[in-house]
Each structure stands twice: as structure tokens, then as C-alpha cells.
């Protein structure tokens, strides 16, 4: 409060009580703001103390490697609760809308495997000096981005949960998988097989697993309930039997075999 304000109040004869009340109000408002600030600052600390990072290990059993240690990457693990509530009764937190990139470069989709929370948008920039296509028509979100060249914006909103196999209608060797999950709790195994899923509230969850070379029955058999607590944060070793390369035998977007590459490429190449 300014000096002039103080003077004008004292000149009218009523001001002292009002001034005092005003100050009291200001002081109590300050207390409220300080309390709010303290709660805001303390909140995340309290939550963090209850959140657990779950770890696990994936072993991919491939008959081609004859039991030798191989590449254990690309297995997707996610933890869900069917009720939409966390096992402690609070609502599963909404994952804010996120944006991802699945790039087309050197006739490859990169990354080959992408996990996104439901509702995420993925950009598909073409970074090659010739046309590409991206389509997904067999499972999960279905779309066909048509033929397009570098600099043409193309994006897809993945608003349906599931496994989305993505191919290019010109280049049969191009493939990617977008795994759309309805949970913020997911992770992907690295080459050594390690998986880490951060920030889980303690409780019971359903563990789901996916790998592009696993048959549906193998994946169904891997589903199990897990208990997450400060004393139980390991998923242990998850062993998955691999089949042949299921993506290699895919069809084009018309459900037919691809034509020979040289013939199919000619109309679209710019160089």
C-alpha cells in the first residue's frame, strides 16, 4: 500500500480499522499463497516417493541362433489395469498428447518399432529423394497416406489401441510397427534384453508382451498378473520363443504380392 493511500485514509477518520483489516487480509492472502506453493512443491515429492521403476529381462529364443546369445531387442512390455484405475484405486493418469516421428530414409522406416500412448500423433516425413507410401490396413489403426515426396507433411493420429503394421506400397523391404497402448507404463527391450518401466504406483497389474516374431499364442501365454511394490519391482526373465520373420511375407495394400522391385519403382523414382 502506498504512502498517499495511508494518508488519505487517516484524513477521513475511518482508515485505521480498515487499514488494519486490509493488512490482515493481505497477510492471510499471503499465507494462502504460501500454503498453496508449499503443497504444490511438496506434491510431486510425495508422489515420487511412491512411484516405482519396474525392471525386467527378455530372452528371445531363436532356433537360428542355436542357443547362442543373440539380439534380444524389440520386445514391448506394458502394464495395464482393466478398470482404468491404478491398483491403488486412483485413476490411471492421462498421458498428455504427444508427437512422434517415424522417418523414411534409405528405404527404411526409422525407428522400426515405436510405442505410443493412445491418441498420439506420428509424423511420417519422407527424407529420401524419391516417393514413398505408408499404409496400415491389417490391424490396429488403418490408414493409407498415398504416394508422397520429401517436404510433404503426412501425419497419423493413432486413436485406436493395438498393433499397427506399417508398410510402403512401393518398397516391400520397408516395414515398421507402431504399438499403441492405453497406459503410460511401457518399455522396450534393448539388445541385451533389459527393459525398464518407470513411475508406477504400487499394486497389481497385468503384464502384456509383444514381439514382431512371436506367434499370437506365444504372446497370449506371456500375459500374467504382476505385483509391484517397493520390495517387488522385478519382472524377472521373460523368455519368448520366436518364429520365422512374420513381416517378410506381407502383401501390398491391395492384398496382392508385390511386383518385382525394379518394375514397381520406375514410375516413382525422381533421380
For Cu ion, the binding residues (CB under 5 A) are: 132, 168, 170-171
Nearer to Cu ion, 71 or 257 (CB): 257
Nearer to Cu ion, 168 or 228 (CB): 168
Q: How deeply is 43 buried, as exposed, middle or buried, from its count of CB atoms within 10 A (0-12, 13-18, 19+)?
A: exposed
Q: How far is the CB of 165 from Cu ion (least distance, A)?
A: 15
Nearer to Cu ion, 145 or 195 (CB): 145
Nearest position to Cu ion, beta carbon: 168
Nearer to Cu ion, 77 or 176 (CB): 176
Q: How far is the CB of 203 from Cu ion (least distance, A)?
A: 44
For the stretch 86-93, contacts whose Cβ atoms lie closer than 8 Å and that sit 24 or more positions apart, written own/partner, are 86/201, 86/203, 87/201, 87/202, 87/203, 87/204, 87/205, 87/228, 88/201, 88/202, 88/203, 90/201, 92/183, 92/184, 93/184
Q: What are phi and psi of 118, to 5 degrees?
A: -50, 135
Nearer to Cu ion, 171 or 211 (CB): 171
Q: Which residues pair with 157 in a beta bridge?
A: 121
Q: How far is the CB of 251 from Cu ion (least distance, A)?
A: 15
Tell me how far apart the alpha carbons of residues 239 and 237 are, in angstroms, rounded to a whole number. Answer: 6
Q: How far is the CB of 169 from Cu ion (least distance, A)?
A: 8
Q: How far is the CB of 170 from Cu ion (least distance, A)?
A: 4
Amino acid at each position: 500500500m502506498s504512502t498517499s493511500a495511508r494518508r488519505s485514509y487517516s484524513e477521513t477518520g475511518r482508515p485505521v480499522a480498515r487499514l488494519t483489516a486490509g493488512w490482515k487480509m493481505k497477510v492471510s492472502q499471503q499465507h494462502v499463497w504460501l500454503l498453496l506453493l508449499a503443497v504444490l512443491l511438496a506434491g510431486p515429492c510425495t508422489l515420487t516417493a511412491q512411484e516405482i521403476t519396474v525392471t525386467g529381462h527378455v530372452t528371445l529364443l531363436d532356433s537360428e541362433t542355436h542357443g547362442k546369445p543373440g539380439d534380444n531387442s524389440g520386445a514391448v512390455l506394458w502394464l495395464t489395469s482393466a478398470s482404468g484405475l491404478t491398483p491403488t484405486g486412483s485413476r490411471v493418469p492421462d498421458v498428455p498428447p504427444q508427437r512422434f516421428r517415424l522417418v523414411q530414409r534409405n528405404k527404411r522406416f526409422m525407428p522400426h518399432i515405436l510405442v505410443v500412448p493412445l491418441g498420439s500423433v506420428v509424423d511420417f516425413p519422407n527424407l529420401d529423394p524419391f516417393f514413398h507410401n505408408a499404409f496400415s490396413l491389417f490391424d490396429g489403426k488403418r490408414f493409407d497416406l498415398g504416394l508422397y515426396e520429401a517436404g510433404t507433411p503426412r501425419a497419423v493420429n493413432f486413436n485406436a489401441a493395438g498393433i499397427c503394421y506399417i508398410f510402403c506400397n512401393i518398397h516391400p523391404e520397408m516395414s515398421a510397427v507402431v504399438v499403441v497402448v492405453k497406459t503410460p507404463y511401457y518399455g522396450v527391450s534393448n539388445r541385451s534384453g533389459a527393459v525398464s518401466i518407470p513411475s508406477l504406483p504400487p499394486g497389481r497389474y497385468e503384464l502384456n508382451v509383444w514381439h514382431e516374431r512371436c506367434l499370437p499364442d506365444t504372446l497370449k501365454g506371456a500375459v500374467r498378473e504382476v505385483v509391484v511394490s517397493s520390495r517387488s519391482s522385478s519382472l524377472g526373465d521373460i523368455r519368448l520363443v520366436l518364429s520365422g520373420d512374420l513381416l517378410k511375407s506381407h502383401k501390398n495394400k491391395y492384398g496382392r504380392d508385390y511386383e518385382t522391385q525394379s518394375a514397381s519403382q520406375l514410375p516413382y523414382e525422381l533421380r
